[in-house]
Amino acid sequence: MKNLEKKKEHPKEKTVLHPRNKHRERYNFKELIASCPELADYVIINAYDDESIDFFNPDAVVMLNKALLKHFYKIDKWKMPEGYLCPPIPSRADYIHYMADLLAERNNGNVPTGSNIKVFDVGVGANCIYPLIGNREYGWSFVGSDNKPEALKSAKDILENNSEIKGNVELRLQPNSSNIFKGIVKENEQFDFTICNPPFYSSFEEARSGNIRKVSNLRGKPVKEVARNFGGNNMELWCDGGEEKFAKRIIEQSKLIAQSCFWFSTMISKQAHLESIYKALYNAEAVEVKTIAMTQGNKSSRIVAWTFLTPVQQTKWAITRWNPKVEIK
């Protein structure tokens, strides 16, 4: 007779996610398999007699993401090269929805939609995840930058296999890894917001130790070595100074295009970094700063967004770009 752990009572809805997030309900593996039959090979019955996958298996996580993108966003073909970051879809969707809310604040509560809304994705990566979700949810257009040609090649392959999105996403190589916007943003080009998920760790060893610690906590016993369940190479997971230094670099360089973008933003995973981030924003003379809390499972993070536009300039921006038929008085 099969020994089962006491079956967990799961909430019907993940209320911590954004109200418009398509992933608030528990994964329905029968529906996901119907959309992506390959997922069936990775679905298991866990100790609680529930259908699930092995989240410590990188291949299973990639396949789950492929199924989620196909089922919820009609992304027909999505493939990740080995060694690159496989993102958690629900939290990436949350970022998109919260930025949509920021735009809506200056648009009478209505999210501006369509390809006229232009987003700059700092470090689009091999997965191209933000453009895929943002275009499918709101019809926005994107410019995705990256300093790794192989990452852009993967993103380009994804777009080539999803022709409806392809025309709304432009990929640009950043030749200088020290630059964020310089050499990428064109003269007179305007963006409604920027988006970024900066490298969290400051070194390979810190990334390795952090993953071992996380997996040990999840399994309830110490482990010596594990494969990262979300993959990721050095430029995605760690950089000199980690997310704090990277975010401060974005803030400093955002001043170069201060009047060319409504909202700049970045994900900040560690709350302890906020004090220095706010100080950098003060020194950069940001006009308005917003901090938006996000939660997925046991993980908490936040979006920090800032603008150099005054309230009057914000109103003018909203009218001229989002509601051009409205007369400016």
**Count of domains observed in the chain:** 1
pLDDT digits (tens, 9 = 90+) for 253-275: 999 999 999 999 999 999 999 99
% of residues, the chain, pLDDT over 90: 69
297: pLDDT strictly greater than 70: yes
Of the ranges 123-137, 143-157, 223-237, 297-311, which one carries the lowest mean pLDDT score? 223-237
pLDDT digits (tens, 9 = 90+) for 169-179: 999 999 998 99
CA atoms of 173 and 191, how far apart (whole Å): 18
Is 272 within the bounds of a domain?
Answer: yes
Where does the pLDDT of residue 213 fall: very low under 50, low under 70, confident under 90, or very high at 90 and above? Answer: low
Is 8 within the bounds of a domain?
Answer: no
pLDDT of 120 reads 98
234: pLDDT strictly greater than 50: no
CA atoms of 58 and 242, how far apart (whole Å): 23
Is 195 within the bounds of a domain?
Answer: yes
Is 61 within the bounds of a domain?
Answer: no
pLDDT digits (tens, 9 = 90+) for 89-100: 999 999 999 999
pLDDT of 57 reads 87
CA atoms of 16 and 24, how far apart (whole Å): 8
Where does the pLDDT of residue 227 fall: very low under 50, low under 70, confident under 90, or very high at 90 and above? Answer: low
Q: Give the structural domain span for 95.
A: 87-199+239-322
Nearest one of 87, 121, 116, 90 to 103, comparing CA atoms:
116
Q: Compute, in degrees rounded to 10, the torsion defined by CA atoms 113, 116, 122, 128.
A: 70
pTM: 0.87
What CATH number has the domain bearing residue 129?
3.40.50.150
What phi, psi does 126 have (nearest 5°)? -70, -20
pLDDT (average), residues 119-126: 96
288, 304 in Cβ contact below 8 A? Answer: no
68: pLDDT strictly greater than 80: yes
Q: What type of residue sits at position 325?
A: K
Query: Which of 66-70, 237-241, 242-246 ranks highest by mean pLDDT?
Result: 66-70
pLDDT of 56 reads 83
Is 82 within the bounds of a domain?
Answer: no
Alpha helical stretches, state H, the chain: 29-35, 58-73, 89-105, 129-138, 149-160, 163-166, 204-219, 234-237, 242-254, 274-283, 311-317
% of residues, the chain, pLDDT over 70: 82
251, 268 in Cβ contact below 8 A? Answer: no
Is 22 within the bounds of a domain?
Answer: no
CA atoms of 14 and 327, how far apart (whole Å): 42
Is 81 within the bounds of a domain?
Answer: no
1: pLDDT strictly greater than 80: no
**10 Å Cβ neighbour count for 75?**
23
pLDDT of 288 reads 98
